[in-house]
Amino acid sequence: MSFSQFIAILIAHRKAALIAFGGTLALVIGLSLVWPKTYSSVAVVVVDQKPDPVSANPYSSMTTPGFMATQVEIFQSDRVALRVVRNLRLAESMQVRLEWAEATNSTGSIESWLAERLQKKLDVKPSRESNLINVTYKADTPKEAAFKANAFVQAYLDTNLDLRADPAKQYSSFFDMRAKQLREELEAAQAKLSAYQKEKGIIASDERLDIESARLSDLSTQLVQLQALTAESTSRKNQAARSTDQLQDVLNNTLISTLKADLSREEAKLKQATTVWGENHPSVIQTRASVAELKERLATEIRKVGSGVGVTNAINQSREADVKAALEAQRAKVLQLKEQRDQIGILQKDVENAQRAYDNVLARLSQSSLESENKLPNVAVLSPAVEPIKQSSPKMLLNSVGGFFLGLLLAMGTALVAEFKDRRIRSLQDLTKTLSLPVIGSLTPPGKKKTLLFRSRDSGPLLEQRMLRPLPSPGTE
């Protein structure tokens, strides 16, 4: 279908098309006039995405990419809507209760029903690339739209605070209970440590161990020295058993040296006297007796020195045995002190661990208590909702433009439907297509001008054009 054919169809069915166009436009304008007016009030909320300074976590969920979408979901949640219902006491109205009973046959919760009705009129949209949230509420009156928009904003603020404080309160309760348990464990560990120290008589385990270790070291030194003395005295005793007069003590003894010198002089005197006076001379006999006495005294002194070496050796061995026994006892004591110190170290470690755990939980308890009492919101109202001056719907201009184009579509559709029901020849194209014959010329009734629908694009009459052109063969256009 060409454009000229379409225009011819519209002209032929212009009455039906005008009726369809006018009726549609009138219907749209009439409905816009009688349709209930709706008013929209907008409140703007700004959300701070900085980390909470009160929170222990410097990287809060406020910095996540989906934070603004989460805030929008909270705004549109049932919890906020139910809070609006409770804050405004909408369920207490008798008229509202009658509407709820009629709509639901008194089944379900009236608050949930009211919350669902409120949510249908609420529209929450975040601004692009900003922290602003636009809250729009639609109502039948400007006052109601502004009032309920602000009510939703206030309910959102309260819910936001609850969502931040409720987990902190739960954590605070948990940490409080845990702190009491850890305090009991700490007291039990301290009591166990004190009881062990009291039982063992330990005041300062490290100092006492140092003293006993020093004593053990002294005994070890003494034992080494005594072992050296014992070895030496044993060697001297053995030598004394073999040849006492060769002992160094004997050789170094002054009395023995004096006796030996006296003995030598007396022996020399005896030899001289014997040579001079003979064996039986009283002087010789007296000198011989003196020599025998000196020998006896010398032998006695040598035996004394030899026996003294044996006594010294016995004393050294006894002292060595005593020091060795004391050393073993001291070593056992030091080992016992080390075992006690290790046990005390374990008990002290238990006390330190219990103290550390108690301090950590106490710090978390203090932090969670502070967070649970935090009343500083991260959301602020940038501009509250005010009563709108103009209605938001129906929009007369927009509806009129829409009705105009809808009327045009219906008008064209009506003309096309009427034409398809009663198809007629409206132009030369329809005639040549229907008859499959060439058109030689066209006649215009007297007094009537030939319309452009029957003229060619050239300036000359159609008859002249057809006469000058060669005729097409039959069966073709």
Mean pLDDT by 10 residues, the chain (477 residues): 71 80 81 75 83 49 68 90 90 87 86 90 86 89 90 90 75 80 86 80 63 82 82 69 59 73 79 77 79 79 69 79 86 81 82 87 77 67 86 73 83 78 67 68 57 42 40 45
Please report, for residues 68, 164, 443, 444, the alpha-carbon distance to residue 447 in angstroms, rounded to integers and kept in the order given. Answer: 76, 90, 12, 8
Instruction: Report the alpha-carbon distance of residue 119 to residue 121 in Å, rounded.
Output: 5
Instruction: Report the alpha-carbon distance of residue 241 to residue 309 in Å, rounded.
Output: 10
CB 169 within 8 A of CB 367: no
**Token duo for residue 173:** 């309760």
Would you give the end-to-end CA distance of the chain in angstroms? Answer: 15
- Which of 371, 378, 376 has its CA nearest to residue 169? 371
- Which of 33, 323, 313, 359 has its CA nearest to residue 185? 359
Q: Looking at residue 44, what DSSP letter applies? A: E
Instruction: Report the alpha-carbon distance of residue 208 to residue 203 in Å, rounded.
Output: 8
- Which of 266, 259, 258, 271 has its CA nearest to residue 289? 266
CB 169 within 8 A of CB 372: yes
Please report, for residues 80, 188, 378, the alpha-carbon distance to residue 151 in angstroms, rounded to integers and kept in the order given. Answer: 10, 55, 18
Q: What is the pLDDT of residue 64?
A: 59
Helix intervals (H) in 243-281: 248-252, 254-277
Q: What is the pLDDT of residue 459?
A: 40
- Burial letters 32-61, b for 16+ CB under 10 A, else e: beeeeebbbbbbebebeeeebeebeeeebe
Q: How many CB atoms lie within 10 A of CB 451?
A: 11
Q: Looking at residue 130, what DSSP letter applies? A: S
DSSP of 200-234: HT-S-HHHHHHHHHHHHHHHHHHHHHHHHHHHHHH
Please report, for residues 43, 45, 131, 276, the alpha-carbon distance to residue 125 in angstroms, rounded to integers and kept in the order given. Answer: 11, 11, 11, 155
Instruction: Report the alpha-carbon distance of residue 187 to residue 425 in Å, rounded.
Output: 111
Q: What is the pLDDT of residue 160?
A: 84
Q: What is the pLDDT of residue 444?
A: 60
Distant-in-sequence, close-in-space partners of 263: CB < 8 Å, separation ≥ 6: 291, 294, 295, 298
Only one residue has tokens 């404080």, namely 165
**Token duo for residue 326:** 């004391």
